[in-house]
Amino acid sequence: MAVHFSILLLLSGVTGICSITTVRKVSVKTGKSISIPCLYSSENTDKVKYLCEGYSWHSCTFVAQTNQPQNSDKFSITDDKTQRIFTVTISKLDKSNNNFWCVSGVQGSYIREYFYLSVTKGESSLYTEEQNYVGYIGENITIKCFSKVTGVKKWCRLGGPCVTDSIRDGAIHGTTVTINTSVPGGFNVTMSKLRSESEGWYYCEAGDFQMPVYIRVQNRPETTSSTLEKQEKRFSFDLKTLLIPPGLLILIVTMTISIWLILKRRRGKAEASATTEAVSAAEDVTYINWTGNRQ
């Protein structure tokens, strides 16, 4: 047991498992909010996670932590222990919200990683329309990363591999990634044939800016069959409205027959008067008698 433990310790020391991985520099607009994912090594799963604000680690202030109720509408923190990622969200960004640390552990043995927020009034250097996307298993998803920054464009899994625009076609965890830089205003990233393992935090990279994006992967809701059901329902509803109650049917038939009879009678009368008019020119008496008989 003790041997196993020391081997584990040795391994973690050698491979640098005991760490936090996050983005380095993110560009955001004043007043907006941003979520930053911090990936941690497994031995930190049950430790407290913090967000610390300040340029220097020694003088930064803990502004959110997972073991304390969060009643700030400026900072929040959530911990996904399955993915080993805690996410810090900073809202209503202003120019002074620049320097932060993702932190885990207890006093005396903290592990930490720094990130920088470039908060500007104008357009961000690198941004996406959203930070949360939903993709479906077996399908493709395209994310547009808006950027005018020159330099290498990348798409990376947080803590995982990256695909660069010079390769154009690469793969991340069995999913093909294509970067298209011939798109006005930025570049498109397409992930093909999503799998459930594809779910997680990624980021676009342009120059030294990064933009984190969460991709949720799920089964496509059965829209085709449910719309079919709806159509069926609507069809039966139409049929029902088409079905005329028997009473009404009898009434309609009676009225139709009556109208038909009246019309027939009138036409008969009209025809009769037309012929009698012609005749009446010659013989007045016949006309009077004839119509008299008819009525």
Ligand X SMILES: *[C@@H]1O[C@H](CO)[C@@H](O)[C@H](O)[C@H]1NC(C)=O
Ramachandran quadrant class, 238 (left: phi over 0; alpha: psi -120 to 50; beta: rest):
alpha
Which range touches ligand X (CB under 6 A), out of 10-18, 38-46, 155-163, 179-187?
A: 179-187
Counting Cα atoms < 13 Å in the Cβ hemisphere of 176 gives 8
- Least separation in angstroms between CB 183 and ligand X: 5
The single residue among 33, 98, 140, 180 that binds ligand X, judged by CB under 6 A, is 180
- Least separation in angstroms between CB 144 and ligand X: 10
Amino acid at 266: R
Q: How far apart are CA 71 and CA 93, in angstroms?
A: 17
The single residue among 59, 182, 224, 236 that binds ligand X, judged by CB under 6 A, is 182
**Can residue 167 be called a binding residue for ligand X (CB under 6 A)?**
no
- Least separation in angstroms between CB 168 and ligand X: 8
Judged by CB, which is closer to ligand X: 180, or 280? 180
Which range touches ligand X (CB under 6 A), out of 42-50, 79-87, 149-157, 175-183?
A: 175-183
- Least separation in angstroms between CB 204 and ligand X: 16
Q: What character string, x for contact with ligand X (CB under 6 A) and - otherwise, covers 25-44?
A: --------------------
Q: What character string, x for contact with ligand X (CB under 6 A) and - otherwise, covers 136-165?
A: ------------------------------
Which range touches ligand X (CB under 6 A), out of 123-131, 135-143, 176-184, 204-212?
A: 176-184
Interface with ligand X: number of residues (CB under 6 A): 3
- Least separation in angstroms between CB 200 and ligand X: 24
Which range touches ligand X (CB under 6 A), out of 48-56, 143-151, 157-165, 178-186?
A: 178-186
Reduce the secondary structure of the chain to three states and give it as a string.
Answer: CHHHHHHHHHHHHHHCCCCEECCCEEEEECCCCEEEEEEECHHHCCCCEEEEECCCHHHCEEEEECCCCCCCCCEEEEEECCCCEEEEEECCCCCCCCEEEEEECCCCCCEEEEEEEEEECCCCCEECCCCEEEEECCCCEEEEEEECCCCCEEEEECCCCEEECCCCEEEECCEEEEEEEEECCEEEEEECCCCHHHCEEEEEEECCEEEEEEEEEECCCCHHHHHHHHHHHHHHHHHHHHCCCHHHHHHHHHHHHHHHHHHHHHHHHHHHHHHHHHHHHHCHHHHHHHHHHHC
**Can residue 183 be called a binding residue for ligand X (CB under 6 A)?**
yes
Which range touches ligand X (CB under 6 A), out of 16-24, 68-76, 180-188, 279-287?
A: 180-188
**Can residue 250 be called a binding residue for ligand X (CB under 6 A)?**
no
Amino acid at 40: Y
Judged by CB, which is closer to ligand X: 107, or 182? 182
Answer yes or no: are the C-beta atoms of 79 and 66 closer than 8 Å. Answer: yes
Judged by CB, which is closer to ligand X: 40, or 187? 187
Q: Which residues bind ligand X (CB under 6 A)?
A: 180, 182-183
